[in-house]
Amino acid sequence: MTAATLAYGVYGSRPRPAMGRAAALSALVHLALVGVLFLGVRFQNSPPATVTVELWDQPPPPPRVEEKPPAPPPKPAPEPEPEPQVKKPDIALKEKPKPKPKPKPEPKRDLAFEKQLREQAMLEQKRLDDARREREMRELIARQQAAARDKALRTWTDKIRDKIRGNIILPQDIPGNPEAIFDVTLLPSGEVLTVRKGKSSGHAGYDDAVERAIMKSSPLPLPDDRTLFQRRLELKFRPQDR
């Protein structure tokens, strides 16, 4: 065994330098990759949804509070001039000194009353405002709920129409893009009970094709929210909307 092999010991058992650091860095790289994948890659898969745009009026401006100009404080009554004191005569006359005239309490009472009135008016106004705001809020929420329900319902009917549309075998010669309306009665399981033509498209072949497609599509998809289920649906079809 030469000294050179002593330097490394047996062939190949030379220590692997910096392996721990390298492993830590490698883990870091993969964590970064995972982070990028999770944050960056997000596919959205949504069924064709109807776009509903609701144009709402601006809520009516709050009715102007008629502000009464605050009543000018009543002028304090001029104080009665103190009577000139009569010099007391040396000889005491049994006479009581006149009581000093009190300043009239009237103006003060008046002020307090005014204040009270104003406060009351303000309270009243506030209560009215609160009630009105609450009412508006409730209306707004109700409207939003109705809109959401409407949208969910439309999503459901869209899903149904998608399924049916896939089963329609279009006849070759349809003039224009006529609309056919069908009334469909459903069982709660989604199966089609009856199909009734509400309005013909004017092309018998197309009407028949749609009717056959509806029957073939049974059971129809159910809404995500079961409370939306309706037994009767009115479905509209046009040959060219895809």
Partner 1 sequence: MPTVTQDLDIWTLVVHASFVVKIVLAVLVAVSFMSWMFIFQKWFVLRRSLNQTLKFEREFWGGQDLNALYQGAVNHRHTIGSLERVFEAGYREFAKLRSQTGTHAADMVDGARRAMRATFQREMDFLERHLSFLASTGSVSPYVGLFGTVWGIMHAFRSLANVQQATLAQVAPGIAEALVATAIGLFAAIPAVVAYNRYSHDVDRLGNRFESFMEEFSNILHRQAVR
Q: How many binding residues for partner 1 (CB under 8 A)?
A: 39
Pairwise CA distance, residues 233 & 215, whole Å: 14
Establish if 49 lies at the interface with partner 1 (CB under 8 A): yes
3-state secondary structure of 133: helix
Radius of gyration of the chain, Cα coordinates, nearest whole angstrom:
45
> Least distance from C-beta 185 to partner 1, angstroms?
24
Kindly tell me which residue out of 110, 121, 125, 167 binds partner 1, with binding defined by CB under 8 A: 167
Pairwise CA distance, residues 120 & 135, whole Å: 23
Establish if 56 lies at the interface with partner 1 (CB under 8 A): no
DSSP for 72-123 reads PPPPPPPPPPPPPPPPPPSSPP--PPPPPPPPPSHHHHHHHHHHHHHHHHHH
> Least distance from C-beta 52 to partner 1, angstroms?
13
Work out the number of other CB atoms within 10 angstroms of the CB of residue 155.
19
> Least distance from C-beta 17 to partner 1, angstroms?
6
Tokens 């998608």 — which residue? 162
Asked if residues 147 and 52 have their Cβ atoms less than 8 Å apart, the reply is yes
∠ CA 72-78-82 to the nearest 5 degrees? 160
Asked if residues 154 and 52 have their Cβ atoms less than 8 Å apart, the reply is yes
Kindly tell me which residue out of 79, 106, 224, 241 binds partner 1, with binding defined by CB under 8 A: 224
Tokens 């596919």 — which residue? 43
Establish if 32 lies at the interface with partner 1 (CB under 8 A): no
Kindly tell me which residue out of 1, 10, 13, 44 binds partner 1, with binding defined by CB under 8 A: 44
Establish if 201 lies at the interface with partner 1 (CB under 8 A): no
> Least distance from C-beta 205 to partner 1, angstroms?
21
Establish if 55 lies at the interface with partner 1 (CB under 8 A): no
C-alpha closest to that of 78 among 104, 99, 112, 109: 104
- Measured from the CB atom, is 117 or 148 closer to partner 1? 148
C-alpha closest to that of 190 among 165, 168, 218, 215: 218
Kindly tell me which residue out of 27, 128, 131, 204 binds partner 1, with binding defined by CB under 8 A: 27
> Least distance from C-beta 30 to partner 1, angstroms?
6
- Measured from the CB atom, is 134 or 225 closer to partner 1? 225
- Measured from the CB atom, is 115 or 149 closer to partner 1? 149
Stretch of 2-10, 112-120, 195-203, 231-239 contacting partner 1, by CB under 8 A: 2-10
- Measured from the CB atom, is 43 or 56 closer to partner 1? 43
Q: Is 206 left (phi over 0), alpha (psi -120 to 50) or beta?
A: alpha
Which residues contact partner 1 (rule: CB under 8 A)? Answer: 2-4, 7-8, 11, 14, 16-19, 21-23, 25-27, 29-30, 33, 37-38, 41-47, 49, 148-149, 151-152, 155, 166-167, 224-225
